A = this chain, B = another copy of it.
Amino acid sequence: MELNSNILQRGVDALSALPGVGKRSALRYALHLVKMSDAEAMDFVDAVRRLKTDIKYCRRCHCISDEELCPICSSPKRQQNLICVVENIQDVMAIENTQQYRGLYHVLGGVISPIDGIGIRDLNIESLLQRVAHPESEKVEEVILALPTTMEGDTTNFYLNKQLKPLGVKVSAIARGIAIGDNLEYADEVTLGRSILHRIPFEQ
């Protein structure tokens, strides 16, 4: 796609760096921005700029938060002795949307992936171990690992379990199995196999 303007070209290039945005969508976004009123456009630019300059993280769980402690960490209604370890902030939101979990979180900021150059020091692992070893309030009873089922996720699960066990905390991982509403015949073999291996007693 040949654009007549370097300014437009640069805008399109910048917008197409967003995840999942191709050149054609980026052009649509760029032309939308061109047509915005001055006030709208400046508001847009300011809102986007602040994402980089003003965003802060909860000092305990590393969620994005405007306060030093995020609303979840500082809520008296949440179980302080339960920590769910997730890869990123989207996962916190996904679990919060289920309304099934009332404990705290810990955002790792990724999973161990030597191929991408992500090692143990690049992740929020040390602060997790500190939270368990030296709890700010209540003693931590259980750490739930809710990491992706990839080789990297499994590696991270394995490493965390090895580090957490000596601290005398229960470590568990979220259940893997056939999704609600899914048909057995279309499930992949690994998932189906695991769902039989980790079958659960029938509730009477």
Contact = CB atoms under 8 A, between A and B. Distances in A.
A125 to B, nearest CB: 18
A86 interface: no
Dominant SS at the A interface? helix
Contact of A54 (B7, B13, B96): B7
A191 interface: no
A61 B201 CA distance: 73
A40 B43 CA distance: 20
A48 B52 CA distance: 14
Given A1-B93, A5-B64, A19-B28, 17 more contacts: A1-B97, A2-B96, A4-B71, A6-B66, A10-B47, A14-B47, A17-B44, A18-B28, A18-B33, A19-B32, A20-B28, A27-B90, A27-B93, A33-B48, A33-B51, A44-B48, A45-B52
A49 B65 CA distance: 26
A70 B11 CA distance: 18
Given A52-B36, A89-B31, A4 B64 contact: yes
Contacts of A89: 31
Q: In the complex this chain forms, how many copies of it are found? A: 2
B55 A49 contact: no
Contacts of A47: 10-11, 13-15
Interface in A41-75: 41-45, 47-52, 54-56, 58, 63-66, 70-72
B49 A32 contact: no
